[in-house]
Amino acid sequence: METEILVVRDYDYFSSILTEQGFSVINFPTIKTEKIIDCAELDKIISEIETFDGIFITSPNAAEPFLERFKKTWENYRGKIYVLGQRTNELFKTAGIETFSSKDTKNAAELLDSIPKNELESKKFLYLRGNRSLRIIPEMLRDFAEVKELIVYKTAATPTNEKQSDKIKEKLRNKKIAAICFFSPSGVQGFLENFAEFEQSTIKIAAIGKTTARYIEDKNLRIDFIAENPVTKDFANGLVNYLRREIE
């Protein structure tokens, strides 16, 4: 079995773990995150923040622009801040702001399920998200709560490196890649936009969490590995163990 792994983002801690374990890594980021230039609407929302019973933030990309403004006035806020993910939670912890989160919640649906329903019913919430977010929170709350959505960052396609793209296409056609690693639905979308003729066959597909895995399946692809915990270290180490079993 081939041991070359395609990672659809820049070289980072995840890729370094794979490299240290003897795998050859190809990094090909398909998306990039951009800040919203005009933050007038976010500033207005912050000035009215006390009108919301709670705030949902499920990404560090959404947390950063919010915290830049909110940390000056957060002591006056009496609602709850619901966050998802270790990195998002750490940003608030560093700012000294208390949040509601759970180590057992791995996606937005599980986060909502962990909150007592009486905390949600007939309440008004703010949901900060990216332009490509799947909108699970407003969809799940729409029948019994009001949700104001605000886009605070954008995910866009990265400029394509034609030479590298052609090399990867050839490797994919010839099944020279053992696995492809995805970290978000938008990353999957970006990959398919770049490699529209991709045929999976024996190539393994790995996802950091259930939300990304479901999106992969919705695209009629086979999901072979899902990280037990949606954090970088666990994803990388789990994938290494999985691939070694497959190779043996």
pLDDT at 226 over 60: yes
Whether the CB-CB separation of 74 and 56 falls below 8 Å is answered with no
Longest dimension (CA), the chain: 60
The confidence score (pLDDT) of residue 61 equals 94
The confidence score (pLDDT) of residue 157 equals 83
Encoding tokens for residue 201?
């066959």
Among 112, 136, 156, which residue terminates a domain?
Answer: 156
Question: Dihedrals φ, ψ of 225, to 5°?
Answer: -145, 130
> Which alpha helices (H) appear in 84-141, and where do they start and end?
86-94, 108-113, 136-141
The dihedral through the CA atoms of 13, 196, 36, 78 has a sign that is: negative
Question: Predicted confidence band at 1 (pLDDT cuts at 50, 70, 90)?
Answer: low
**Among 64, 56, 57, 68, which residue's Cα sits nearest to residue 123?**
56
- Structural domain that includes position 195: 4-30+158-247
The reply to whether 222 and 239 lie within a common domain is yes
The reply to whether 174 and 218 lie within a common domain is yes
**Among 9, 49, 21, 44, which residue's Cα sits nearest to residue 244?**
21
The dihedral through the CA atoms of 171, 175, 180, 186 has a sign that is: positive
Encoding tokens for residue 88?
């998002």
The confidence score (pLDDT) of residue 212 equals 95
Instruction: Tell me what the mean pLDDT of segment 143-158 comes to.
Output: 94
Q: Could you give the number of structural domains in the chain?
A: 2
The reply to whether 98 and 82 lie within a common domain is yes
The confidence score (pLDDT) of residue 109 equals 93
pLDDT at 136 over 60: yes
The reply to whether 24 and 39 lie within a common domain is no
Instruction: Tell me what the mean pLDDT of segment 166-187 comes to.
Output: 95
The helix or strand, by DSSP H or E, that contains position 17, with its residue range, turns out to be helix 13-20
The reply to whether 23 and 63 lie within a common domain is no
CATH number at 221 reads: 3.40.50.10090
The confidence score (pLDDT) of residue 174 equals 94
The reply to whether 127 and 178 lie within a common domain is no
Distance of CA 127 to the CA centre of its chain: 15
The confidence score (pLDDT) of residue 2 equals 60
Q: What is the pLDDT of residues 41-80, one digit of tens each?
A: 999 999 999 999 999 999 999 999 999 999 878 888 999 9
Q: What percent of the chain has pLDDT over 70?
A: 99
pLDDT at 185 over 90: yes
Instruction: Say how far apart CA 31 and CA 58 lie, in whole Å.
Output: 18
- Mean pLDDT of the residues in the chain: 93
Q: Taking the CB of residue 122, how many other CB atoms lie within 10 A of it?
A: 9
The reply to whether 196 and 163 lie within a common domain is yes
**Among 201, 187, 213, which residue's Cα sits nearest to residue 107?**
213
Instruction: Say how far apart CA 247 and CA 241 lie, in whole Å.
Output: 10
